[in-house]
Structures are given as structure tokens and as C-alpha cells.
Amino acid sequence: MQDDGVPFDDRGLAYGDGLFETVLVRDGQPLLWEAHVARLQRGCERLGIPCPGRDLLAALPGRAGSGLAVLKLIVTRGSGGRGYLPPAEPEPRYRWRATPFAPQETRWREGVTIRLCDLRLARQPALAGIKHLNRLENVLARREWDDPAIAEGVLLDAEEHVVETTSMNLFWHRAGRWETPALDACGVAGTLREGLRQRLPIAAVTAGVDALMQADSLWLGNSVQGLWPVRRLLDARGGERQAWPLPSPSARTLQDAAHELLGYPRLTD
């Protein structure tokens, strides 16, 4: 049901018991829509929450209006009383909002500075890949810096494996191939990541920070922002760990593929 308020006993509010999707919409047409719906369905199945029907979901992007917008859909298990035990027959609650959006085009072209985070992600395969509402780890990691010159923070897991940044997936080119972190223990399997892996040979690997040091280019991206090249990687204290030159046109193949999926311009044209 669509609800104008969130009741006190909503399990999404009380426990983070739910999921969300953030979709780029251009003139009412959603980008990577099937991948977003599929991930939402996987998440609902994993958590045991009835998924909104396809007809209901399909009607939402058209309400985003003209131009470029971001549609955010939140699905919770609904109300559930006290205690962690979920209701046997949940009545899911959903909320959505569309807001105008302008991508940060300078970051596409000139790249960004990122840092390593102190926080370590817990390994929990039962939640790996899905976009659930319990994002306290990301919140705490994002609180580690307030310098606007630092675009993102790299998150490692408890075994020191690179996973993602606070809101984007990572990609790098090393030893002649594209790689991205394996997300079988934690992290969000982004829809842009999924789309790129369907188009290009991108290996999902378990690797530490050394893999980033060995890369000849490092990128981060998601289905809203597109793909940003990384120019500098800092440690958690602000010291420089690695720097990369601005990618040449031939090194932007991954970005070109990402932007084609999202309707953004190719920077090699």
C-alpha cells in the first residue's frame, strides 16, 4: 500500500527491515530498469517480503516527469509489533519519490580523489548483494571525512578485502583485464555493475588494497552517477597511497560502455 506517513511500528523504521532501489529516469523512461526490478525481487525473496507487482512498479517511472530525475523506491515489511519475529503474513508498505537530477560531469572528465575508510564491513553472505535498508556501516564510514575534495571512501571487509565505496562499485584495469570486487560476502551488487559485466569481460575477484596499487586505472560508478576515473587514492589519515594520470581515450572503454547504458555522453567522441 502507498502510505503518506510511516507508522511507529513499521519494521523498516524500527529494524531496517526492507529494501530500496534508486533509479535514473530520463523523460519518464527508467534506465537499467529490468536490473533494478530483478534486484528488488531477489532482495524480497531473500528477506521473505512479498514483492510489489510488476504493474505497480512499471507505473512509477512515468510519474518522474520530464528531464532527468532519480526515482527512489523503498519497500518495508510493513507493521509488525514488538520484537524481531516478523509477522507470518506481512503487509508490505512502500514509498517512492522522484527528484530532479544533474550529474557531476566534471568528475566524468577530470576524475576524483578517494580515500580508504577505517570502518570494516561485516561479512554476511545472507545479505550480500541486495540493497537492504540497514546501511549503518555506510553511514559510519561516510562520517569519517568532510572534505568536499574527497569524493568517496573505499570500504574493506573484516578480512581486508576490497568491497566497494560508500555508495558506488569499484572497477580497475590490471594486467590486461578488467576486475571488480567479488560480492559474495557483503556489499551491494550495483545494476550498472551488472550491466557492464553482461557487456564486457570483467572478472569478479577477491583482492586487497594491493590490487588497486597494481592497477593502471581505477574507476568507481553507479547507475545514477555514471563512471568516474580515480586520480588519487589517500589513506585514512590523508596520505597519498597512489596516483593515476587522466585516462587516455583508449582507457575509457569501460566508461563509454557505462554511459551508453545510462544515456550519458561518450567522452571519447
pLDDT, tens digit, for every residue of 118-169? 999 999 999 999 999 999 999 999 999 999 999 999 999 999 999 999 999 9
Across the chain, mean pLDDT equals: 95
Answer whether residue 3 shows pLDDT above 80. Answer: no
DSSP letter for each residue of 81-129 = -SSSPPPSS---EEEEEEEE----HHHHHH-EEEEEEEEEEPP-TTTTB
Compute the average pLDDT of residues 102-128: 97
Query: Could you say which of 22, 113, 206, 253 is catalytic?
Result: 22
Separation between Cα atoms, residue 35 and residue 32, nearest integer Å = 5
Compute the average pLDDT of residues 237-264: 95
Q: Is 137 noted as a catalytic residue in this protein?
A: no
Answer whether residue 2 shows pLDDT above 60. Answer: no
Q: Is 22 noted as a catalytic residue in this protein?
A: yes
Answer whether residue 80 shows pLDDT above 80. Answer: yes
Query: Could you say which of 164, 165, 179, 191 is catalytic?
Result: 164
Asked whether the whole model's pTM tops 0.85, one would answer yes
pLDDT by residue (tens digit) across 180-193?
999 999 999 999 99
Q: Are 194 and 36 in contact (CB under 8 A)?
A: no
Query: Could you say which of 131, 152, 165, 191 is catalytic?
Result: 131
Q: Which sign does the torsion angle of CA 228, 104, 114, 154 carry?
A: negative
How many CB atoms sit inside 10 A of residue 83's CB? 8
